[in-house]
Amino acid sequence: MKRIRGIESKPSDRVGSTRIGQYQTEIGCVTPRLFSEAVRRIVEEYRWIRSNPSDDFDCRMLERNPYEWQFGIRGASGTEFEGGIYHGRIQFPKEYPSKPPSFTLLTENGRFKTHNKIRIRRLNDWQPSWRVRDALDALIDEMPTYPDGELGSVEYNKEERRDLTVKSHAAAPKYGTSERQKLIDEIHEYLLSKSPPVPFPQLPQLIPSQASNGTGGSYVVNGGYVVSGNTFHATNSNGVGILDSMNAFSDEDHKLLPSWLKLFRWRKQN
């Protein structure tokens, strides 16, 4: 048994292949007892999360720094964030759990600023009995709300948030060292396996075709969608329906469509 800065390191004190005794974090004026309590609590929570995986979030601890995790959350179902995957960092104070962890989002989302510590309302009354998983659940719940001039917030409408949802699902953000990026990519892959498709069409670049119907020709969209004159057709088995004339559409349908398709209306095909 060896002792490092007041921490007894045993072969069983592991997170994956990383021993607690390997952590060389500078403890400053914090007593070894407090340091030990913080690390042991953080490691305990991490083990629990890894042993009890959630469909709504995932976390990865940096190999040599228990005080910093990468995390990802899924957008709440039934909201403009549904289908989105949002990445961030968790930083623990050395006084944890007496003091709460801080959260920073890395994915543009339309609710919180990125690369800034964010304010989660429920953490204002932090209790040492609360855990990281409770804070992540609170963050998921708070994403669809609108800020009231809160520090670290941004104000986007639902349409703008939906556009960002599509982008967040498509690719993980690029951030930090190769180790951090590896963890981010692992989290993204896991959450993709738990995420439903984004609940509105993500339609790519239009490619002009040779056909013309006398009203401006037609365009073929990658994936088998066709715009012809003032009518939009879904032509493959993956199309969710047929678009009627762009002269008839409802306000609610209008809000759900990508910005370049504001003139079209989806009608589900049986």
Q: For residue range 138-171, what is the model confidence (pLDDT) as tens digits?
A: 999 999 999 987 878 999 999 999 999 999 999 9
pTM: predicted TM-score of the whole model, two decimal places: 0.65
pLDDT at 180: 97
Tell me how far apart the alpha carbons of residues 142 and 109 are, in angstroms, rounded to a whole number: 12
What is the architecture, at CATH level 2, of domain 2-194? Answer: Roll (3.10)
CB of 132 within 8 A of CB of 161?
no
Strand 65-74 relative to strand 102-105, pairing:
unpaired
Domain(s) labelled CATH 3.10.110.10 in the chain stretch across 2-194
Q: For residue range 55-75, what is the model confidence (pLDDT) as tens digits?
A: 999 999 999 999 999 999 999
Omega of the bond leading into 204 within 30 degrees of 0 (cis): no
* Residues in the chain where the model's pLDDT stays below 70: 1-35, 199-270
**Nearest of 244, 211, 241 to residue 230 by alpha carbon:** 244
